[in-house]
């Protein structure tokens, strides 16, 4: 084997955790940013500096908002400084209060945005197969205090929007979506960004499209759009008159320059992600006790998250052991969204019983592993990652025993 070549992993002894050489010299991450054409980015930044217009509805921000509307087929896009603030603006614009139903199996920013505004997030279970909020459970949780449903299109796979729309309109409550993962995705040919009253995107560095930090609210409702624009800019209607309480949630020009540059490589990033996803799918096919989360390829997908479920009862090795095996090989997989928001400090004391009514969330929080992809990861890297996963899972019982022995032997 040449010095730089990736060591093959054929027997357990080859695993770095059992003394072998790590498969990768450099760490592979979930969420490595997609950069696009750096020269284009620098040109744009240079123009912004020359024109000395760096924020406050600058030309790049306006152009990015127009491009996003075009891509999604929506009427209004209001960019923000991050996705969490986009959610907060959306919640205020909708005038929500009391309780809002939200999945617990999401990034903690989703319930935080509600809680930050004094609203009680009522945690709802997800559907085991889709990982998205379960409409049957939503109906069960509606009380006279419920003012809205906040769905999350987890991993970029859209929620069951039609059933949620029916429930929301039947009960006279708002429906909106955290679309942080789902930029560029569709359901029945309709783009995410056009569902519910409004949808909030994240353009964080780790997202399919990023603006370093950033986000946006997208809506077809002109009145919401006007309110959101005012609220984003201290509540100003013109230059001097604040018409309501607002905040500073504006996106700057450098971020928008990154977003515009990212949009130019939209197709290339989808292609790279799709290629990695298909390689994962073929390499992990039939691996007992594991299940790769599949995308409906008839729809538009961004393939930004590669998610595998590990069922310890069938593999003999736990998800967490696999996570550690990979880490030592320099593959930094993530166990999003462990342990479920309902088990995190700000929420667990308020809803101590939540775990018992969230069985799917609890199961997924202990099974899900998110694997590296994106333009920084090659299909060959994916081959190497799958070799490790396959070896570990196919010898799961034996591996588990060896790892446990090591644990016992450790002083």
Nearest distance in Å: CB 144, ligand T4K? 28
With tokens 């939209």, the residue in question is 266
**Which tokens is 259 given?**
């977003």
Nearest distance in Å: CB 39, ligand T4K? 20
Residues 6+ apart with CB under 8 A from 217: 77, 78, 80, 86, 89, 90, 93, 198, 199, 200, 201, 228
Give the whole-angstrom CA distance, residue 330 versus residue 333.
9
Please, are residues 123 and 97 in contact by the beta-carbon 8 Å criterion? no
Max intra-chain CA distance, the chain: 71
Site for ligand T4K in 142-171 (CB under 6 A): 152
Interaction between residue 32 and ligand T4K (CB under 6 A): yes
Nearest distance in Å: CB 84, ligand T4K? 3
Please, are residues 37 and 264 in contact by the beta-carbon 8 Å criterion? yes
- Residue 151, strand partner residues: 177
Instruction: Give the interface size with ligand T4K as a residue count (CB under 6 A).
Output: 23
Site for ligand T4K in 44-83 (CB under 6 A): 82-83
Interaction between residue 224 and ligand T4K (CB under 6 A): no
Pick the closer one to ligand T4K by CB: 82 or 261. 82
Nearest distance in Å: CB 330, ligand T4K? 12
Q: Please pick, from the candidates 215, 262, 316, 340, the single residue that binds ligand T4K as defined by CB under 6 A.
A: 215
Interaction between residue 110 and ligand T4K (CB under 6 A): yes
Give the whole-angstrom CA distance, residue 48 versus residue 39.
14
Interaction between residue 205 and ligand T4K (CB under 6 A): yes
Interaction between residue 306 and ligand T4K (CB under 6 A): no
Q: In what order do the strands lie in the sheet with 290-292?
A: 290-292, 306-310, 368-371
Q: Please pick, from the candidates 132, 202, 211, 373, the single residue that binds ligand T4K as defined by CB under 6 A.
A: 202
Q: Please pick, from the candidates 79, 106, 132, 261, the single residue that binds ligand T4K as defined by CB under 6 A.
A: 106
Please, are residues 317 and 85 in contact by the beta-carbon 8 Å criterion? no
- Within 13 Å and on the Cβ side, how many CA atoms surround 77? 26
Per-residue mark of binding to ligand T4K, 255-284 (x: CB under 6 A): ------------------------------
Interaction between residue 84 and ligand T4K (CB under 6 A): yes
CA nearest neighbour of 304 among 34, 27, 24, 104:
34
| Chain residues in the site for ligand T4K (CB under 6 A) | 29-33, 82-84, 106-107, 109-110, 152, 178, 180-181, 202, 204-206, 215, 332, 336
């Amino acid at each position: 084997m040449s010095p730089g070549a990736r060591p093959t992993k054929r027997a357990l002894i080859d695993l770095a955790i059992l003394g072998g050489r790590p498969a990768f010299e450099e760490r592979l991450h979930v969420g490595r940013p997609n950069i696009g054409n750096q020269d284009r980015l620098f040109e744009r930044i240079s123009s912004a500096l020359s024109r000395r217009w760096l924020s406050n509805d600058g030309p790049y921000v306006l152009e990015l908002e127009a491009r996003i509307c075009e891509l999604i087929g929506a009427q209004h896009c209001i960019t923000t400084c991050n996705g969490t603030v986009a959610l907060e603006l959306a919640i205020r614009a909708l005038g929500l209060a009391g309780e809002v139903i939200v999945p617990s199996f999401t990034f903690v920013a989703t319930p935080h945005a509600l809680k930050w505004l004094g609203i009680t997030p009522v945690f709802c279970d997800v559907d085991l197969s889709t990982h998205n909020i379960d409409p049957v459970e939503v109906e069960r949780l509606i009380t006279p205090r419920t003012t809205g449903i906040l769905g999350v299109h987890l991993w970029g796979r859209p929620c069951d929007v039609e059933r949620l729309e029916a429930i929301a309109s039947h009960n006279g409550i708002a429906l909106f979506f955290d679309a942080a993962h789902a930029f560029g995705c569709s359901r029945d040919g309709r783009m995410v960004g056009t569902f519910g009253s409004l949808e909030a995107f994240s353009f964080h560095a780790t997202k399919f499209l990023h603006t370093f930090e950033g986000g946006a609210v997208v809506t077809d409702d002109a009145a919401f759009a006007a309110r959101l624009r005012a609220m984003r800019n201290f509540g100003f209607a013109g230059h001097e008159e604040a018409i309501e309480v607002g905040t500073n949630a504006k996106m700057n020009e450098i971020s928008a320059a990154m977003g515009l540059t990212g949009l130019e490589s939209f197709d290339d990033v989808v292609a790279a992600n799709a290629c990695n996803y298909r390689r994962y799918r073929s390499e992990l096919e039939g691996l007992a006790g594991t299940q790769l989360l599949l995308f409906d390829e008839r729809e538009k997908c961004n393939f930004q998250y590669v998610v595998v479920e590990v069922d310890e009862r069938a593999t003999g090795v736990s998800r967490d052991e696999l996570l550690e095996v990979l880490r030592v090989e320099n593959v930094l997989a993530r166990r999003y969204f462990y342990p479920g928001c309902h088990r995190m400090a700000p929420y667990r004391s308020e809803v101590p019983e939540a775990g018992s009514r969230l069985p799917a969330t609890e199961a997924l929080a202990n099974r899900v592993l998110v694997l590296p992809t994106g333009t920084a990861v090659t299909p060959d890297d994916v081959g190497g990652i799958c070799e490790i996963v396959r070896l570990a899972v196919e010898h799961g019982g034996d591996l588990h025993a060896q790892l446990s022995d090591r644990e016992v032997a450790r002083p």
